[in-house]
Structure 1
C-alpha cells in the first residue's frame, strides 16, 4: 500500500467528517445507496490523485521530505534516498542531527525554530550533510510549516536539491576571482576595466600610481581623455571596432598625460567583456609602460647615428630602409644612394646566396644570427665584415624586416692570418724542440702540450690529454707539485726550476725540471698554469755519477796519496786540496805563498827544483812537467818523497799565468822500488839455483830463456847453450804440436795452466815427460810473455805405468772376487742375483749420464753387483716366500744392508764398496734405513744405487707379487725427486728412460 501524503489524508478526513456530520440531517432526504456511491467515487478520486502525486514525487530530481516538529523524517520520495545516500528503511525516523555536524545542527535548529515561530517558510537554506559512507554533500532546501486540519503545527516539509557540484564551482569561482583580483592589485603592469563609453569601472593600484590619481577618483573618468589629441580619436575608433567585432587588440602604443602633466608612453592590450547572454558590457585592458623604452629607442637612434660600426635595416625583400653614416661610408655610397638598394648589390653572387639563406633562417626561427661576409664597395674594393642580424617585429609582433650591425674585420682577418702563421711557426718550434711544453687547468689536468712532452712521459697524445698529475706522480711528488703550483697561484711569481719525479707509462722513473707560470684569460682571470719541461734524467744520473766520482776521486786521492793544487803565477799564491794539505803536513792557516812553498821543499832539493822550473818555463816553455823530489812535512818534519806533475799556461809574452797539477806522496813507492831491486837480485839468485826448471818465452815461442835446471832437463850444458841452439821451441822441443796449440788457446783464454803433462825432446832427441805450470804475463812494453815452471816427471811416469799395470791386475782380481760373491748369493736366491745385475747396469748408465769419472763408474758398477750381498744371511724360505712377509720377516730382511757391510768392510777395495752397500736403502730426507742418514751424509754413489734399486724393484716381479711396471717406477722417482731421491741422479734416470729409451737387461 502506498503512503498518502498528509495533505491528502487531511482532505479525505475532512470530507468523511462532513459526510458524517450531515448524515443525520440528510438521513431522510438522501437514501443510503446514493451516499455510498458518492463516498466510493470520492475515494476513487482521492486514490487517483494520490497515485499521480506519488508518481510525480518519485520522478522529480529533487528530494521531498516531511518531518515532525523534532526534525525526524516521516515521509520522503526516492530522490531523497539518493541525495542522502541511505535506504528508505534507514531514512524513516532519521533526525537531522544524525546527518549533519554539530555546528550545522545548531544552524538548522535556528532556521526551523524561526519557521515555527513566524510561520513563514524559507526557500534557499544551504547546509552540509554526510551520507552513510561519510561523504560530504551540499544541500539547498525549502522549509515550510505543516499543520493539521485544525491548524495545529505538526511538523515541516520541503524540497531538497543536491547543489554539491554547483557549490564546488562557486567556491572555485570565488577563489579564482579573489586570486585574480589579488594578482591585478599586485602586478606591476597597469590594469583597468572600461564600460562601452570608455569610462573607468575598475583600476588597479599600478594604474592609479601611473596616472597620479586616487583610485576612487578615476572610477567614472573617461580613458580617451587621458590620451593626447593624436590618440584620442584613435582610441575611440579602436574601442568601437573591438565592440563591434569582438576581436582583441594587442600592443597598441599610446601616449597618456598624467596628473602632473608628464607624458607617459604605454602599450595596451585588451579584450571585450560580455554579459551572460553575450552582449558587450565593456573592456578589460592591461597596459605596459614603455616610456623608458621609448627614451632608450631615441638614445639608440642617436647612438646608431654616431657609432663607428655600421648599422642598417632591411625590409623583408632585402631592400635597405635605413643605414647610419658609418655603414654608408663603409660601402662608399651616400645615405641617399643606398636607401632602397638591395643588400645583394654590394656583394658577390655566392655571398648574396649565403646571406639570403641566413635571413630566411632568421625569419623562420626569430633567432639572431652572426656571420662573416665580404662587401664590395662602390669603387670595387673589397673588405671583410662581421654582421650581427636580427628580426624586426611590428607592434602586433609580426616580422616586418631585419636590422644588423656590421663590424669591419679586415684588420682582424689579417691579424688572424698572422696569428695562424705565428701559431704554426710556434707549433713547429714546439714540436721540434726537445723540451716539453704544457698547459694545465686549475685542477692540474693537461689541456695542451707538444709532442716532446708525450715522448718524455711515454704516453700517446690521446692518453695524455686531460690526464691529472696524480696519475704519473707518487704521493711525495704530488704534494711537492701542489705546494709549488699553489705558491705560484697565490703570488703569481713564476718558478723556473722545479725538480720532481714522474712515472712513465712503462713504469720507469724519470727526473723532470719544469718551469711553472700562471695562465690568465683575456679578462685577467686565472685559468691554469703553463711551463717548459726538461727531461733531466741523464743529468740527474750524471750528477749522481759526478758526486760518486768526486767521492771516489777524493777517496782515491786519499788512498793513493795524490793531492791537487793550482798556482797563480802573478801573485805566487796557491790553493790545494785537503789530501795535499795532509801530504804537506799543513792546515788551513798555512801561508800558501811562494815562500811557503819554498819552505816545504827539502833544503837539498831547492837548488835543483829552481833550476828545473827555470829550464821548463824560460828555456823550453814546456806546457807539462813531471818531477820527483823530497819535501819536509811541516807538522812533524818528516822527510817524504813526492812526484809533482803540472800543466802550465802562458800569456802572449811567454809569461806563465797559471799552473795546475797534482802531487803524490811516493815515499812508499820509493821504498818499494828499493825493495824490488833487492828482491830482483834475491830472486835471480833463487832462479839460477832452483832445482825446478824455470823459463820465459815469447808467445810465438821463437825466443826462450831458461835457468840452469831447465837447461840440464833438456840435456844442454847451460842457459846460454839453450839460447844458442834453440831458435824454434815448437819444432825443436815440443813433441805433439797439435796438443801444444791447445795449450796456447788455454793460455789465451784463461791466462794460465797448471800441472800440464807432456813430452819434450832432449838435445839428443830422446823423449822425457815433464809437468809444466805456465802463466801468461804482460811485460813492461805491453806485450805478453809466458812464464813457466817445469818438473822432469819421467821417473814418476814410469812408476805410474807400473802402478796402472798392477791396478789393472787388481781390478781383474776384484772383479772375479765380486762375481764369485754374486754367484754365491745367486746360488741361494736366483731372484736376488738377477736383481743385482739389473741394478748394476742401470746405476752404471745413470753415472755415465751424470758424466762421473771412469773410476766412480767402475765403483758403482761393482757395488751394484753385490749391493744385496747381505741377504746371504737371510733364510732362503723368507727370500722366496710367495706371500706377503710378516713384520718380523720384513725386519729380518732389512738387516741385509748391515750384514753386507759386515762381510765387506775388512776387504781392502780401492773404492768405498762396503759403505755403498750399507747406505743403498737410505733416503735423503732421513726416512731410510738402517741409520736414517740424510743427503749431506750420504755418498753420491749410494744415492745412485738407491734409485736404480727402487726402479728395478717396482718394475720387476717379486716372489709375492707380479711386476708393477716401469711407468709406475718412473712416476715414483718423478714424484719424490728432491724429497726421497737425489734430484740430479733422479733426473738422469728419467732422461735415460724417456729420452734415450734405456731398456734394463733380462
Structure 2
C-alpha cells in the first residue's frame, strides 16, 4: 500500500512537470506565432518600403537572372515586372557593349571577394529606345556563406549628367572667351604673381603663359621703374577689395621693345581665395596715332595760321570758330567780333550775294569747290575774291568747313587788260583776214563773197555737229581765207571763160600749198594753215595736193571742203552759169562716204532741207 502511494505520488509529480512543460511549450508556440506574425508584418513593411522607395531596386541571381524589380525601376526603365523577371539581365540589350563587358568584369571581382559595394555611372537603354544615365550600387547577398545574388539600387541621374555637361560646356565657353578675348586677361595673386593669362596677354608682352605663371611682374621686370609704385598702389587697393583703373602702364616686352597698355584690376574670389583679375588693353598703336594726330593738328594749326590766304574755320552750322591773321588783315574783323556768328549772315557778303553763298555752302558739303565772286570788308568796301571751300570730315560725319579767300582785284585788273588786248588782237586779225579776202575777190570778181559764204555754211555744219566753240571759231577763220593761195594765180586764168588747159589747171591745184606757205608763219590758235592745205582732199584719196584718205584729213578740212563744193556749184562761174543748190546737194549726196564724210553730208542736207539754211550776201 505504501508502495502504491509512493508510485501515485511520483506519477502526480511527473504529471505536474508535464503540465508545466506543456504550458511552457504553449507559451513558446504562442510566442512563435507572434514572432512569425511580426516577421510577416515586418517583411510586408520592408516589401512595401522597397516597392515605394524613390530609388530603383533590382535583385539578380549570380547567373544574371532577374528575380525582382520594384515600381520605381519600372518607371525608370519603362519595363513592367512581368517583362523582365526571369530573364537574364545581360541579354536584354539594355547596356552598351563596352559597359556590359565592364559590368561582367566587376561582378567576377565581387564574386572572388572584391568590394561588395561600388557606385558606378552607366548608360542604360529604356524600353522606348532612349538612352539615359543611371547610377548603380550593387550589394552581394550570401546565403549560408555562399554568394547567392546581387541587390542593385538604381538612380536616374540624367538631369545631373545634363547639368554637369552644361557646366562643362559653360566652363569651356568661358575658357574660350577668356583665351580669345581681344584684350589681355590675366589672373594674379595679391603679391603680383601670375596664375593664368590669355593669348592676348602673351601677344602684348611677348611671353608665353608658361613663362609667366608663378613669377611676379617685378621678377620679370615687366614694368618701367616709374610705374612700379603705381602697380603697388593698385595691389593695395585690391587687397581691401577695391578695383582700380584703367591706368596707363609702359610694359617692357620680352624682345626689349615697349608697349603701352591701359590696365584695370578687379579683386575676385576663386575657390574662396582672393585673387586679382587684370584686363589690359594694348594702346600702343592708339598712342602712336594720337601722337601723329597731335603733330598733324600742330601742322594744320601752323598752316592755317600762317597761310597767306585769308582762312576761316566754321562749325557744321557755318558758325565762325577761328580765323587766321590774313583773314583779319583782308576783311578788317578780329575773332572776338564775329566768333560764333554765321558766316552767311551778311558779315562779309553784299546783300545780293548771301543766297549765292548759301547755295555754294550746300555744294561744298559734297566736296571741294572753287569760284570767283564779290565780298565785303568791315568798312563796306566791295572787292573781288577767289573762294575755295571744303568740308572737314571725321569719319563720315561732317564737323565743319574751311574757307579760303584770295583778293583777286589785281588779277581781275590784269585779266581785263589781257581781255582787252586779246579783243584788240582779234579785231586786228579779223581786219587782216577780211583785207586778204577782199584782195582775192578784187583779183577774182566772179568769186566775190565765196569765202564768206563757205564760212557761213561751214560754221552752221560745225554748230549742228555740236563741236566745241573754240573749234568752230577755227573753222570760221580758216574758211574765210581758204582760197588765199589764189593770190599767186594770174587774174586772166581766174576769170578765163573757157576750159583751162593742163598747165593752167596745175596752177589752180597748187593754190592750197601757196595758202599754206602764207599762213603757216602766222601764230593762230588753230591749225589754220593745215586746214587750208587739206580743203581739197577727198575721203577716197582722189583729192589734191597730198592724196590723203579718211581720218588722215582734218575734220575741219572735211567740213570746209564740203561747204566749198556746195557754194561753188550753186554760184555763177566765168566758165559756166550757176548749177543751183539742188544740183550741189545731189553731188554731195551721191558721193556720201566716197568723196565726202557721211556725217558732214547728212548735217549739210539737214540744214538745207529741214532748217531752211540760206547763204547771206
| TM-score, length basis structure 1 | 0.35
For the structure 1 residues 861 and 621, does the alpha-carbon distance in structure 2 shift closer, same or farther, using more than 3 Å as the test?
farther
State yes or no: 1:574 paired with 2:194: no
State yes or no: 1:753 paired with 2:357: no
* Structure-to-structure mapping, 1:501-540, within 5 angstroms: none
- The partner residue of 2:252 within 632, 651, 655 is 632
Q: Tell me, what secondary structure is at the counterpart of 1:785? A: strand
- The partner residue of 1:950 within 562, 571, 577 is 562
* Structure-to-structure mapping, 1:934-949, within 5 angstroms: 943-949=555-561
Q: Paired residue for 1:311?
A: none
Shifted more, 904-913 versus 802-811: the winner is 904-913
Distance 1:600 1:928 in 2: 93
Q: Paired residue for 2:308?
A: 691
* Structure-to-structure mapping, 1:56-75, within 5 angstroms: none
C-alpha displacement of 1:812 = 2.5
Q: Render the CA deviation track for 1:929-977: whole Å, top value 9, x for unaligned.
A: 6668899998xxx52343242244157517578464436536756x479
Report the RMSD for the aligned CA atoms in angstroms.
5.3
8 Å CA contact 2:183–2:200 kept in 1: the answer is yes
8 Å CA contact 1:696–1:785 kept in 2: the answer is yes
C-alpha displacement of 1:606 = 5.6
State yes or no: 1:966 paired with 2:582: no
- The partner residue of 1:603 within 224, 230, 234 is 224
8 Å CA contact 1:631–1:642 kept in 2: the answer is yes
Distance 2:269 2:436 in 1: 98
8 Å CA contact 2:531–2:556 kept in 1: the answer is no
C-alpha displacement of 1:855 = 4.8
Q: Render the CA deviation track for 1:970-991: whole Å, top value 9, x for unaligned.
A: 6756x479xx86x9x8599479
Q: Paired residue for 1:863?
A: 478
- The partner residue of 2:412 within 794, 797, 801 is 797
Q: Tell me, what secondary structure is at the counterpart of 2:431? A: helix
Q: Paired residue for 1:404?
A: none
C-alpha displacement of 1:737 = 2.6
Q: Paired residue for 2:163?
A: none
State yes or no: 1:742 paired with 2:366: no
Q: Tell me, what secondary structure is at the counterpart of 1:867? A: coil
- The partner residue of 2:328 within 711, 715, 728 is 711
Q: Tell me, what secondary structure is at the counterpart of 1:790? A: strand
For the structure 1 residues 657 and 627, does the alpha-carbon distance in structure 2 shift closer, same or farther, using more than 3 Å as the test?
closer
For the structure 1 residues 597 and 714, does the alpha-carbon distance in structure 2 shift closer, same or farther, using more than 3 Å as the test?
same
Q: Tell me, what secondary structure is at the counterpart of 1:827? A: helix
For the structure 1 residues 897 and 696, does the alpha-carbon distance in structure 2 shift closer, same or farther, using more than 3 Å as the test?
farther
For the structure 1 residues 734 and 931, does the alpha-carbon distance in structure 2 shift closer, same or farther, using more than 3 Å as the test?
farther
8 Å CA contact 1:970–1:990 kept in 2: the answer is no
Q: Paired residue for 1:100?
A: none
* Structure-to-structure mapping, 1:438-477, within 5 angstroms: none
- Unaligned segments of structure 1, at least 5 residues: 1-561
Distance 1:936 1:645 in 2: 77
Q: Tell me, what secondary structure is at the counterpart of 2:254? A: coil
Distance 1:895 1:617 in 2: 110
Q: Paired residue for 1:768?
A: 383
For the structure 1 residues 700 and 996, does the alpha-carbon distance in structure 2 shift closer, same or farther, using more than 3 Å as the test?
farther
Q: Render the CA deviation track for 1:83-128: whole Å, top value 9, x for unaligned.
A: xxxxxxxxxxxxxxxxxxxxxxxxxxxxxxxxxxxxxxxxxxxxxx
Q: Render the CA deviation track for 1:584-636: whole Å, top value 9, x for unaligned.
A: 556x79746585988484434465467679989997879xx97754333323x
8 Å CA contact 1:955–1:966 kept in 2: the answer is no
8 Å CA contact 1:758–1:769 kept in 2: the answer is yes
8 Å CA contact 2:251–2:260 kept in 1: the answer is yes
8 Å CA contact 1:651–1:657 kept in 2: the answer is no
Distance 2:501 2:491 in 1: 15
Q: Tell me, what secondary structure is at the counterpart of 1:1001? A: coil
For the structure 1 residues 767 and 618, does the alpha-carbon distance in structure 2 shift closer, same or farther, using more than 3 Å as the test?
farther
Distance 1:827 1:617 in 2: 116
Distance 2:373 2:257 in 1: 57
For the structure 1 residues 856 and 793, does the alpha-carbon distance in structure 2 shift closer, same or farther, using more than 3 Å as the test?
farther
Q: Render the CA deviation track for 1:127-165: whole Å, top value 9, x for unaligned.
A: xxxxxxxxxxxxxxxxxxxxxxxxxxxxxxxxxxxxxxx
* Structure-to-structure mapping, 1:114-263, within 5 angstroms: none
Q: Paired residue for 1:729?
A: 344
Q: Paired residue for 2:615?
A: 1001
Distance 1:834 1:596 in 2: 106
Q: Tell me, what secondary structure is at the counterpart of 1:729? A: coil
Distance 2:505 2:235 in 1: 99
- The partner residue of 2:516 within 901, 905, 912 is 901
Higher relative CO (Cα under 8 Å, sequence separation at least 6) belongs to 2
Distance 1:642 1:986 in 2: 75
Q: Paired residue for 2:149?
A: none
For the structure 1 residues 970 and 595, does the alpha-carbon distance in structure 2 shift closer, same or farther, using more than 3 Å as the test?
farther
State yes or no: 1:806 paired with 2:421: yes
Distance 2:442 2:342 in 1: 70
Distance 2:540 2:322 in 1: 59
Q: Render the CA deviation track for 1:216-237: whole Å, top value 9, x for unaligned.
A: xxxxxxxxxxxxxxxxxxxxxx
8 Å CA contact 2:316–2:398 kept in 1: the answer is no
Distance 2:348 2:288 in 1: 42
Distance 2:267 2:499 in 1: 101
Q: Render the CA deviation track for 1:164-199: whole Å, top value 9, x for unaligned.
A: xxxxxxxxxxxxxxxxxxxxxxxxxxxxxxxxxxxx
For the structure 1 residues 705 and 566, does the alpha-carbon distance in structure 2 shift closer, same or farther, using more than 3 Å as the test?
closer
For the structure 1 residues 781 and 565, does the alpha-carbon distance in structure 2 shift closer, same or farther, using more than 3 Å as the test?
closer
The structure that has the greater radius of gyration is: 1
Q: Render the CA deviation track for 1:539-591: whole Å, top value 9, x for unaligned.
A: xxxxxxxxxxxxxxxxxxxxxxx9946757596142259xx84x7556x7974
8 Å CA contact 2:319–2:339 kept in 1: the answer is no
For the structure 1 residues 831 and 708, does the alpha-carbon distance in structure 2 shift closer, same or farther, using more than 3 Å as the test?
farther
- Unaligned segments of structure 2, at least 5 residues: 1-179, 189-194
Q: Tell me, what secondary structure is at the counterpart of 1:744? A: helix
Distance 2:600 2:273 in 1: 84
Distance 1:994 1:986 in 2: 13
Q: Paired residue for 1:401?
A: none
C-alpha displacement of 1:690 = 3.5
8 Å CA contact 2:535–2:557 kept in 1: the answer is yes
C-alpha displacement of 1:770 = 0.8
